[in-house]
Amino acid sequence: MKRELIAQVAHEINRAYCASLGDLSPLAWADAGEAQQQSMLAGVDMHLANPDATPEESHASWLAQKVADGWAYAEEKDAEKKLHPCCRPYDELPLEQKSKDYLFRGVVHALKDLPDADAEHIQQLASELDQAKAALVRLSQPARLVTEGPVSIPAGQVGVEYIGRRPDFTDRVYGTGLSFVQGQVRPLPLNVARKFLRHPDQFAQAEIVETALPQQTEQGDDTAAILAEAKRLEDEKRQEHSNVQDVRDQVSHMTKDALVEYAQTRYQQKLDKRQSVDALRGQVMQMVDQFGVV
């Protein structure tokens, strides 16, 4: 199968996997943009040229290219500042990202020797996925008011209107968890609004009428509650990441006896003490990444 079709199929499978996790932000292949498409194609080329390459090696290749291009790690992706949450060693990636890497490799090798698929059929499948995502948003989110004309916005906030081509949008890039339907206006704090307004093809600043008190918002608007929940989840995520990193730091200084005891006590795993200390440390690190801090 042609590399372009392999990349497109892999991209759509990745979108479906993201949707199963509640992440509806990835765009269809045609709307994904050249940078995303080229990244997928580069991954396909790497696996075709190196059929024995593991997902770990694939990530190392991707990471080296990103670092060479000036990218760095951040908890939120920001293409303008060249920041990406996956710019870190493979063993520090979340399980969901590792699953994506294994799926990607499996798709490439499953399709490379097959005859070319019907591009129109792939596009039809992508369209069906978009329809399913839209239905998922409608079912999982409370009803929202689509506004017309000036909107009452609490003082100090900015009205942001979704004007994108898709019928709905859910933010998974900036960590807010906010969902929009076409034409919907949400009142947002200035720092959050600026992030959305970086994308003029999807968002526009709405004409607003400021109200005197912050609590005088449109009845039924759930923006503040969603932002508060997103902050709570982000704080929990940061704390969890900090706890895991603390344990990894401890493990990196453990002796062989301490590593064996730690694996047995915390994870009920019996390690072979005849192995080298580096091998044992790697196994314990993997347990920490897979099962978390216990």
Q: pLDDT, tens digit, for every residue of 231-248?
A: 787 788 778 888 888 888
Q: How far, CA to CA in Å, does 186 sit from each of 153, 174, 178?
A: 8, 15, 9
Tokens representing 144 are 């929202």
Q: How far is residue 23's CA from residue 17's CA, in Å, rounded to a whole number?
A: 9
- Stated pTM of the model: 0.43
Q: Within 50-163, where are the H helices?
A: 55-68, 95-111, 119-140
Chain centre distance of CA 202 = 19
User: One digit per residue, pLDDT tens: the chain, 294 residues?
Assistant: 688 889 988 998 988 888 777 777 788 888 888 888 888 998 999 899 999 989 899 899 889 888 988 999 988 888 888 899 999 999 999 888 898 899 999 999 988 887 765 556 656 665 666 666 555 544 444 444 445 555 566 677 888 999 988 888 888 788 888 888 888 888 888 889 999 999 988 899 987 655 544 444 444 567 778 888 777 877 887 788 888 888 888 999 999 999 999 999 988 899 998 999 999 999 999 888 888 888
Q: pLDDT, tens digit, for every residue of 198-228?
A: 998 889 998 765 554 444 444 456 777 888 8
Could you tell me the residue ranges of all domains in the chain? 3-140, 151-226, 227-291
End-to-end CA distance of the chain: 46
Q: How far is residue 76's CA from residue 99's CA, in Å, rounded to a whole number?
A: 19
The pLDDT value recorded for residue 27 is: 84
Tally of CA atoms within 13 A in the half-sphere of 41 that contains its CB: 12
